[in-house]
């Protein structure tokens, strides 16, 4: 039994915790791939752009930057999808705070995409102009 004030659903640690954390992460990625069209689209974009990153990047740092922003977009989309799923589980009726949470999550995705586009454009410019 867990200590008082600690959820019985929380693990206490050890290799079992690491295994469960990995398993839950894989389940989350699978759920996003199955249920979230935006995540699938961004995953496809990342799959297409990943080989291009190795051609465009002239240094290991540039390659890491190009790949890192692709991963960042996927991370932000996962968080946004989690917010949307939680909001929908709470209520499907209009609620201004739930709507605001969804809008803010969407804004985060937009900013991550703009950041990724800016970085890719800057590296492409250096590749072409340099």
* Residues with catalytic function: 77
In angstroms, the CA 63 to CA 35 distance is 30
What phi, psi does 43 have (nearest 5°)? -65, -40
CA neighbor of 59 nearest in space, from 106, 128, 126: 126
């Amino acid at each position: 039994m867990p200590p008082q004030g600690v959820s019985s659903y929380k693990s206490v640690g050890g290799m079992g915790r690491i295994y469960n954390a990995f398993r839950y992460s894989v389940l989350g990625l699978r759920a996003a791939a199955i249920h979230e069209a935006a995540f699938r689209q961004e995953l496809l974009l990342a799959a297409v752009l990943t080989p291009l990153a190795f051609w465009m990047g002239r240094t290991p740092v540039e390659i890491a930057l190009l790949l890192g922003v692709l991963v960042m977009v996927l991370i932000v989309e996962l968080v946004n999808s989690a917010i949307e799923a939680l909001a929908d589980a709470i209520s499907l009726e209009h609620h201004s705070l739930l709507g605001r949470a969804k809008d803010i999550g969407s804004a985060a995705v937009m900013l991550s995409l703009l950041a990724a586009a800016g970085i890719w454009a800057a590296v492409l410019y250096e590749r072409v102009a340099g």
